[in-house]
Amino acid sequence: MKLIRRSTVFLVVLALVAGCTIGVYSYRLKLTADDVVRISYELSQERKAPTTRELQQRFGNALKQPDPCMGNGCGYQLLVSNQALAALHLAPYTVLRSYFWATNGVVDVNSLEFWTVGRQGAMVLSYVEVKYCDRCDYFRLNPSSDSSPLGTTGSIEIGYASTAGNKRIALAPDTGCLTRLRGCASIAELFPKVWEQTAAQTIRCRLPNHDGVIGNLSDRP
């Protein structure tokens, strides 16, 4: 009897420790993803394009250079993934990547890519590109229609000179997709401020637009 009681207590304690460990890991994972998204937004709000020195100061050793520099520039990235949760079958494999391309030490574009394995086993991908070019104030979406297939890939292009309101909408992925038990199954769940899923199981754009090009929206929170 004592052996059974001790074994039961041990299993309960083990389950509690495992649950706490997974909870702390998930919390830190989401915080890290939130920081990556927040810094991308803050960099987009500065008066000039960020430099590679600024990226290194912001991200430290987490910033990696996946490939050698080429004649026209260098690429840098940060990867945030839920590999541990996926290995334990607690969440679908999901990755957030922030990629910077720089020429002569100055960033030309920042691509924030969010992808996951959907509930049917297919990859779901959506991404936003912030273009650091003079007087760029466009905001382009694809899809921009009221009825697109559920498995559609989402893309957002936003100019550096666009408003803070536009950037808050574009640079707002749901980082909870990294830790959610069932994950996220469509671009509407990855970027919920831009798209929504309809009752007819299609994707609808949430924003007023014309041919995928949206004017400067008000700086609403």
Residue 221 in domain: no
Instruction: Name the band, by pLDDT with cuts 50, 70 and 90, for residue 210.
Output: very low
Whether 111 is covered by a domain: the verdict is yes
Name the pLDDT band for 35 (thresholds 50, 70, 90).
very high
Query: Which of 154 and 12 is assigned the larger pLDDT?
Result: 154
CB atoms closer than 10 angstroms to residue 68: 7
Does a structural domain hold residue 219? no
R_g of the chain computed on alpha carbons:
20
| For range 193-204, the mean pLDDT | 93
- Work out the number of other CB atoms within 10 angstroms of the CB of residue 115: 20
Report if residue 48 sits inside a domain: yes
Confidence bin at 118 (pLDDT 50/70/90) = confident
Local structure of 32: helix, strand or coil: helix
* pLDDT at position 214 over 70: no
4 vs 28: which has the higher pLDDT: 28
Residue 136: inside a domain: yes
How many structural domains are present in the chain? 1
**Parent domain of 65:** 2-205
Q: Is the pLDDT of residue 127 over 70?
A: yes
The answer as to whether 212 is a domain residue is no
Within a domain: 122: yes
For the cut 60, the answer to whether the pLDDT of residue 10 exceeds it is no
Task: Determine the pLDDT at residue 101.
Answer: 97
Residue 214 counted as domain residue: no
> Which distant-in-sequence residues (6+ apart) come within 8 Å of 3 by Cβ?
none
